[in-house]
């Protein structure tokens, strides 16, 4: 899905897509299309742009980039998702 932004001159709205790496939160237990659950697991290799933005779990040891683990508040079940 697209959202709209103003052009630089402020004359017109244009469609813009959600950038890779955008993190959203939802009460839905399944990620929307185009998103991965932020659970600390390895980022799948097919998402090369997202992988290039993420860091390995240990800066000093080689490892695969991980999806950041973002924990929900204690009072509610909220899930975090990251755009690939």
Full-model pTM: 0.67
Contact between 66 and 58 (Cβ < 8 Å): no
Q: How many CA atoms lie within 13 A of 42 on its CB side?
A: 6
pLDDT digits (tens, 9 = 90+) for 34-72: 999 988 888 898 999 888 888 765 555 556 667 777 765
Calculated CA dihedral for residues 40, 44, 45, 51, nearest 10 degrees: -40
Residue with structure tokens 């998103």?
35
pLDDT of residue 3: 64
């Amino acid at each position: 899905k697209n959202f709209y932004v103003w052009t630089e001159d402020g004359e017109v709205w244009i469609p813009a897509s959600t950038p890779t790496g955008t993190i959203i939160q939802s009460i839905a237990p399944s990620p929307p299309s185009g998103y991965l659950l932020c659970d600390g697991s390895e980022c799948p290799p097919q998402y090369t742009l997202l992988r290039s933005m993420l860091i390995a779990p240990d800066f000093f040891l080689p490892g695969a980039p991980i999806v950041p683990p973002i924990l929900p508040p204690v009072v509610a079940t909220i899930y975090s998702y990251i755009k690939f």
